[in-house]
Amino acid sequence: MHELLYQKLTEKITLNPEEFETVKAFFIPRTIKKRQYLLQQDDVAKYLAFINRGALRLYTLDNRGNDISVQFGLEGWWMTDNYSYLTGEPTIYNIEALEDSELLLMHRDKYEQVFDAVPKFERFVRILLQNNFIATQRRLISSLSLSAEDRYTSLANAYPEIIRRIPQHMIASYLGITPETLSRIRKQLIKA
Amino acid sequence: MHELLYQKLTEKITLNPEEFETVKAFFIPRTIKKRQYLLQQDDVAKYLAFINRGALRLYTLDNRGNDISVQFGLEGWWMTDNYSYLTGEPTIYNIEALEDSELLLMHRDKYEQVFDAVPKFERFVRILLQNNFIATQRRLISSLSLSAEDRYTSLANAYPEIIRRIPQHMIASYLGITPETLSRIRKQLIKA
DNA sequence: CGCGGGTTTGATGATGCTCAAGCCCGGTGG
DNA sequence: CCACCGGGCTTGAGCATCATCAAACCCGCG
């Protein structure tokens, strides 16, 4: 159950067995079925989720009620609304399960405690935040400078797994285009 | 010279006079003239800059050579390429002065040392990174969901100072539109 | 005074949206 | 086991938004 977590942590920081056991004890395993929610708008993000198996989506609604996919998560990825999780303010996001999923959850009450118990874990979380920031900035630049087709192909090259497992209309909203446009782009690409 | 820095730090963390003196000693004052560069593509971001006076712009070139404004900075703001600054990898960005500016610079060699000397400062930097991430995510959502006109008006409402002091074609590239389109949008808005 | 970069204006065209309809396919109930 | 939904994907036609290209204008600076 915790092998993937161990692998992902030790990619970024070195942990001896006792330290890993300590960190591990802070996580609550939970399964969540397709279409269930881990977080809903106006609630506080109580959990930081590590995805052991399955697929999640973080999205929000714009002022016209359109659904915008902000982030997807697959095995080995982390999901939460960092802002709400860290500040305790209500969130503007929703996190839903797109497949039956196994999660490891860390409650926000424990957040400071883990850092005291295993200081290296704080470094890990900072690296995670940092990487999220960099990835979001790059995505912003592509959304400002690339055509819809280029944005799709670069997503498909970087994360083929996302294309395979995530419904198309959600990928469309992630790219900032309509489902119709994405359908036409795919048709174009198959011909070429 | 350091009043604005003091003010900005104490908005987020509490520092006693000695602690502030310690932090202050880590910064190098530097003036930079309009059109000079603080950072150029393929270099390593050696400095984290606090803007005491003036205006800076962080931008990059897309694959067609178009200039994209990623971030602006005015008095009281911080500028660097966090990725390059923290990892030591070469940057893909440029930072140029749009006005004659006064900066307070912290060299990346000192970065870990300040944290040892004044641990609270680390908290400050994390809050800064965090806020950058949240702001970038929000901007991504607007760029995916709002029209060019709505993006312009919300920027103008949130940061009128930016509109006043930054050349129009740079604001256009920040919004992901051409200078011509921005000119027409402004004309429209004046009529209404 | 004239040069040159930035902004404006106009005409045209491409990209992607909207609205509407049909299709495909998996899930549900008879 | 089959028929019938219903959601998601596709297709088409017309349209809005924004880009491109070209030219004129404006104004600060040398």
DSSP letter string, A131-181: HHHHHHHHHHHHHHHS-HHHHHHHHHHH-HHHHHHS-HHHHHHHHTS-HHH
Closest CA to B32 of B92, B98, B77, B78: B98
Which of B60, B130, B144 is closest, CB to CB, to A176? B144
- Supply A86's token pair: 């860290």
* pLDDT bucket at B123, cuts 50 / 70 / 90: confident
B146 three-class SS: coil
CA distances from B66 to A176, B62, B139, B169, B170 (A): 21, 5, 20, 12, 11
Q: Which residues of B touch A140 (CB under 8 A)?
A: 70, 136, 139-140, 143
Residuewise pLDDT in 10s, chain A (192 residues): 899 999 999 999 999 999 999 999 999 999 999 999 999 999 999 999 999 999 999 999 988 889 999 999 999 999 999 999 988 999 999 999 999 999 999 999 998 899 889 988 988 888 888 889 999 999 999 999 999 999 999 999 999 999 999 999 999 999 999 999 999 999 999 987
- For chain A, list the strands marked E by DSSP: 28-32, 37-39, 47-53, 56-61, 67-73, 78-79, 94-97, 101-107
- Close Cβ partners of A134 (under 8 Å, ≥ 6 residues apart): B82, B83
Q: Percent of chain B scored above 90 by pLDDT? A: 83
C-beta within 7 A of nucleic chain D, residues 125-164 of A: none
Residue A151 has a pLDDT of 97
CA distances from B56 to B6, B42, B74, B175 (A): 20, 19, 7, 17
Residue B191 has a pLDDT of 82
Residues 83-102 in A contacting B (C-alpha not used; CB under 8 Å): 83, 86
CB B1 within 8 A of CB B29: yes
State whether B136 and A140 contact (CB < 8 Å). Answer: yes
State whether B143 and A145 contact (CB < 8 Å). Answer: no
CA distances from B151 to A68, B72, B144, B146, B172 (A): 16, 16, 10, 6, 10
Give the model confidence (pLDDT) of B57-85 as tens digits.
Answer: 999 998 888 999 999 999 999 999 999 99
